[in-house]
Amino acid sequence: MIYLNNAATSWPKPEVVYQTHDAHLRHLSGSINRGAGGASLDVDRAVLETRELVADFFNIQEPEQIIFAPNATEALNLALQGLLAAGDHVIISSLEHNAVARPLYALHARGVEYTIVNCDPSGRLNPLDVERAIVPRTRLICLTQASNVTGTILPVNEVGEIARKRHLQYLIDTAQTAGEIPVDVEAAGITLLAFTGHKGLLGPPGTGGLYIRYPETIRPLIFGGTGSRSELLTQPEILPDKYESGTINAPAIAALGAGIRFIQEIGLDNIRHHTMGLTARLLEGLRRLPEVILYGPLEAGERVPVVSLNIRGLYPGEASAWLAEHYNLVTRSGLHCAPLAHRTIGTLQTGTLRLSPGFFTTPGEIDATLAAITELVGVMLDE
């Protein structure tokens, strides 16, 4: 199998991630904050270590401001629904995932307004367009750091300067960038950062979270048991308990920590160099096929390893199925849960075929993919 669907979830994982998850599930019986004795304390310690690893990874000063969640979608919902109220105004880009667009659409019914700032057909965003969209009621700027459709990297630091200057909350979705390119909350002026564990951070599904710089501004999304201040009917204000009700997925969080340690050992720059080389190789080969339409920047340095394309005369779903059947090549087709992005690049009616290599993808697999697509084009032309 050639696996080119890392934008959905990375695979394979480092062996240490599998081993850590198995060891914690087998031997660390207990629930965080809910027991005494060695095993329970070890669970507490494992979660704390991962929280500290995440803090170091994003240059977050206070680890307790990292709230674990099952995925970036819930983290984004916590940020949006916890912050916004009737009369507030939000600015987003035209590349945002439905994890942002759908909560905002629901909040619109409660009196929250939002403006979509258009990116160009390659997915590039002009920071000045964001600044021009600010109105007196604007409370939040929310951006994906890179598109899951075009791969385009957005100018997060430049927009962060605007948010800082205008004293606005600044929410960044790092689903496609964490573990691929550096993310520094201090340098970018980020006050809210959503991350997922199962993509570039090389952890298991069911992991993710939200960094909250100003917890007094964010209401909890879920209320319940925290293992602390149990005598109160009100939610505890201490962090991270305020936002982490119920039993969290400690074995998976420990495995996420193993994934982050693996990235630190390899080096983020080395990972980026490898995936950029694969992306450049893929783009160069696809550009030689006149039947292939490419979307997003043509320079690998302007994008994460996400390549969307269409083949003239062929629906992306048909292309994806053919590649799977004939080459055991795993891709993704459709709208990728991002209709705003597809409207931006003109593919809302058809979607795209998406190829997303990862750290464990080899140059040989990219060459085999190019050969498969070349054959597919030939078969289509013969018909």
Domain boundaries, the chain: 2-10+268-382, 15-266
- Closest alpha carbon to 46 in 36, 32, 59: 32
% pLDDT > 70, the chain: 96
**One-letter amino acid for residue 133 of the chain:** A
Instruction: Quick: pLDDT tens for 55-114.
Output: 999 999 999 999 999 999 999 999 999 999 999 999 999 999 999 999 999 999 999 999
Q: Which helix (H) or strand (E) holds 368?
A: helix 363-382
CATH class of the domain whose range is 2-10+268-382: alpha beta
Cβ–Cβ < 8 Å for 361, 32: no
Cβ–Cβ < 8 Å for 64, 240: yes
> 204 is written with which tokens?
């298991």
15-266 — its CATH code? Answer: 3.40.640.10
- Closest alpha carbon to 168 in 124, 115, 229, 206: 115
How many helices (H) and strands (E) in the chain?
Answer: 12, 13
Q: How far apart are alpha carbons 131 and 137 in whole angstroms?
A: 13
The pLDDT of residue 228: 83
CB-facing half-sphere around the CA of 318: CA atoms within 13 A: 11
Is the preceding peptide bond at 316 cis, omega within 30 degrees of 0?
no
Record the pTM: 0.95
Q: How far apart are alpha carbons 95 and 118 in whole angstroms?
A: 8
Instruction: Quick: pLDDT tens for 275-287.
Output: 999 999 999 999 9
Q: How far apart are alpha carbons 343 and 349 in whole angstroms?
A: 9
